[in-house]
Amino acid sequence: MCHFRSMRFFRLCRGLLVGACIWPASLPAAEPVAVGWIERVKVEGLVIAAKLDTGANTSSLHVSDIRWFVRDDGDWVAFDASDEKGAKRHFEKKVVRLSRIKRLSSTAQKRPTVVLGVCLGRTYRLTEVNLVDRTGFNYRFLLGRRFMAKHFVVDPARTYTVEPECAGTGAP
């Protein structure tokens, strides 16, 4: 009788260990991090105050002087962006697509869309960002739901809850 209980326990433990090794996706996913509707993000090394917009699919970055040019692999854009302190950085990025942005007050607008590295809290991801002159808006960067999905929930009563801390992830 004692041997039967030991074997049953052994088989149970072995089954749990094998199951954990074979099916790691069955482990519960990490809970999304709650953040405020305004947060500081790091975009390719620039720290920028961003509005987190769950109504926008794609993120948008305020840039000045977009210049189009062609390379062997397609259309590219050159542009300048600046951080909260006014430090500017020059970029040259391949255009991955043209975003068609619907606007309430006017006709749809087509914007060049590039891939940029974005850090929010401790999460670093490459994400599509459309480029536009956001003069007159309160925030230079609008973070869309494609970046936030499954990673963040937005608490509209809070602001500046996390700082961009993506060291060691390859983030600039």
Average pLDDT over the chain, rounded to an integer = 84
What's the per-residue H, E or C state across the chain? Answer: CHHHHHHHHHHHHHHHHHHHHHCHHHCCCCCCEEEEEEEEEEECCEEEEEEECCCCCCEEEECEEEEEEEECCEEEEEEEEECCCCCEEEEEEECCEEEEECCCCCCCEEEEEEEEEEEECCEEEEEEEEEECCCCCCCCEEECHHHHCCCEEEEEEEECCCCCCCCCCCCC
- What is the model's pLDDT at position 133? 87
Q: Is the pLDDT of residue 47 over 90?
A: yes
Mean pLDDT value of segment 93-112? 83
Q: Is the pLDDT of residue 24 over 70?
A: no
Residue 150's pLDDT band (cuts 50, 70, 90): very high
Q: Is the pLDDT of residue 29 over 90?
A: no
- What is the model's pLDDT at position 170? 53
Q: Is the pLDDT of residue 11 over 70?
A: no
| Global confidence as pTM | 0.77
- What is the model's pLDDT at position 108? 78
Between residues 171 and 142, the one the model is more confident about = 142
Mean pLDDT value of segment 152-172? 85
- What is the model's pLDDT at position 167? 73
CATH number of 30-159: 2.40.70.10
What is the percentage of the chain residues whose pLDDT exceeds 70? Answer: 78
